Amino acid sequence: MSKQRTVTFNHNPLLRHGLPTWRPRAVMLALMACSLALIGRSMYLQGVNNEFLQAKGESRYARVLEVPATRGRVTDRHGDMLAVSTPVRSIWAIPTDVNLTPPDARKLAGLLEMDVQELNRRLAAGRDFVYLKRQLSPETAQQIADLKLAGIHQQQEYRRYYPGGEVMAHVLGFTGVDDKGQEGVELAFDGILAGKSGARRVIRDRRGQIIEDVEAIRAPRDGQDLALSIDAKIQYLAYSALRQAMQTHKAKAGASVVLDARTGEVLALVNAPTYNPNNRTNLSGAQLRNRVLTDVYEPGSIMKPFIVSLALERGKVQPGTIIDTSPGRLTIGRATISDSHRHGALTVAQVIQKSSNIGTVKVAFNFSPDEMWRLYDDLGFGKPLNLGFPGEAGGRLRPAKTWKPIEQATMSYGHGISVSLIQMAHAYLVFARDGELVPLSLTRLDAPPVGGKHIFSAATARDMRGMLELASGPGGTAPQAQIAGYRVAGKTGTAIKLDGAHYTNKYVSSYVGLAPASDPRLIVAVMIDEPSAGQYYGGAVAAPVFAQITEGALRALGVAPDAPLVPLQLAQKQGAVVPVRERM
């Protein structure tokens, strides 16, 4: 039997090779270094820079909510409310937190006035945040809150309300669902009206309900109130008269603007067709257009007084200077212009009274194209008035060096140049203010305007007022512009519309006048686009609208009469004395 062999492990040959002495030391040092790094990092995060961990923790329960600012109110010049913000609620959701039962979904969809399928589609959109309904009434929002649905939240907002409705639509414009201005005054003065939202920090529970209001981060700054120059009573008068004229003449569109001749303030601005800013469903571009400022047209004979005034100012003619308009036609190059009636020899005053194209052209040929261009430029044509309104048009006034003789002729009586209605009303301030032109204002002025520009002398402006009285009286082109108790002065315009580069058989009828003529307080401009009930001359279509607006506005302002309290034609038949201002 062989002897059993015994193995001792401590004599294993592998153990005869000892480990290097530096190795365990290196491992120990590495472990100690890692421990020190972890300790240092924890001290840094918890003691020195704890914002990161604190922010992560707060993100589980804390929220910063926007506190909306109240948009400033808009009033007319007397303080009557035109636009005001009312509190509403918006419903939003965190889709991942929402777990609606079918009955809850039906209740919520009913309160939101939407289909259950649409509600489910929005909640399944895969977003972290989704609006379910904007600008709900507080009563409906409270009914939704009473359901106590997880993930469904509310926030306070404001909705704009316009008491004047369609009467004030083109002046005020409107705001969007975020309470930002989109059109009109709301857009032009958005920086003043909007204010600045605030913020506050709150704590929410797991259902999203606010359980503690921690602090106000930034207080909201409400928007400033804005007092417009608009007079709500005159605005309604203008709107009613324009709407009636649209129906009577079956017109495509119309516009009117009323200015205070003493200050340049806009007292009324109306357009048709219009819209209700409180209910903007199914709106079209035609309804939204603020034609007073954005539409341009060839003004026609309304331009004639400016050329005649320039000739008076330069001493080229006098009111009694005779101009031969026979035989009612005038050929310039290969083109021929004509008058609507043959007048023969006319005084300069009669050229305005009868609205003679030939007489005006002969006066205009006393000047170079550059002189005429400078006059039109000084009057503000060819450039926007910079009232701040969106889309304000500047019109078209070509450089004088491009004018041909026939173009200089047609521009003297309002063809070949395009203007907006408010530009034309503004230019007529020179006749109401004894030759001075001042800027217009959409906001109420507390002091008279300064910085006016003198275009004509006071004597020239008074002479032209007398001629414009003749144009608006018996024997003139607009006897229907007369008002019982007040002298009026103004000019008609009947322009053929352009379609591309060609004239059509459609017309723009207009009238611009001022009253009382003895001491002008108002300037009223009226434009009727494409009247189609048989009449299209400015004296028959636009002048009666002027008379209706001006009569009501003068009485609303308490302006004293300066003529017999009967229509001028009847007064003359009865032998009453009608004062006429003479040149001084």
Distance between CA 474 and CA 575 in Å, rounded?
14
335: left (phi over 0), alpha (psi -120 to 50) or beta: beta
Q: Which residues of the chain have pLDDT under 70?
A: 1-19, 45, 49-50, 52-67, 125-126, 128, 200-216, 500-501, 566-584
DSSP type of residue 381: T
- Amino acid code (one letter) for 269: L
φ, ψ dihedrals at 12, nearest 5°: -60, 135
Q: What is the reported pLDDT for 580?
A: 38
List, in order, residues 6 or more apart from 188 with CB less than 8 Å away.
173, 181, 387, 388, 389, 390, 442
pTM above 0.75, yes or no: yes
Residue 281 burial (C-beta neighbours within 10 Å; 0-12, 13-18, 19+): exposed
Q: What is the reported pLDDT for 6?
A: 58
Token pair of 160 as six digits: 């704009």
Please identify every residue annotated as catalytic.
Answer: 301
DSSP type of residue 481: G
Task: Say if residues 245 and 253 touch (Cβ distance below 8 Å).
Answer: no
Helix (H, G, I), strand (E, B) or coil at 67: strand
Q: What is the reported pLDDT for 9?
A: 53
Distance between CA 483 and CA 518 in Å, rounded?
14
Pairing of strands 74-75, 226-227: parallel
pLDDT tens profile 176-204: 877 888 899 999 999 899 888 777 666 66
Q: What is the reported pLDDT for 574?
A: 46
Number of Cβ within 10 Å of residue 176's Cβ equals 13
Number of Cβ within 10 Å of residue 546's Cβ equals 32
Distance between CA 415 and CA 117 in Å, rounded?
60
φ, ψ dihedrals at 280, nearest 5°: -100, 25
- Amino acid code (one letter) for 452: G
pLDDT tens profile 453-477: 999 999 999 999 999 999 999 999 9
Q: What is the reported pLDDT for 14?
A: 58
Q: Which one, of 83, 288, 90, lies nearest residue 177 by Cα? A: 90
- Amino acid code (one letter) for 86: T
Q: What is the reported pLDDT for 552?
A: 95
Distance between CA 61 and CA 280 in Å, rounded?
40
pLDDT tens profile 327-368: 989 999 889 999 988 889 999 999 999 999 999 999 999 999
Distance between CA 514 and CA 259 in Å, rounded?
9
DSSP type of residue 452: -
CA 70 to chain centre: 21
Q: Which one, of 377, 379, 413, lies nearest residue 299 by Cα? A: 413
Q: What is the reported pLDDT for 129?
A: 75
Residue with the two structure tokens 């704009």 = 160
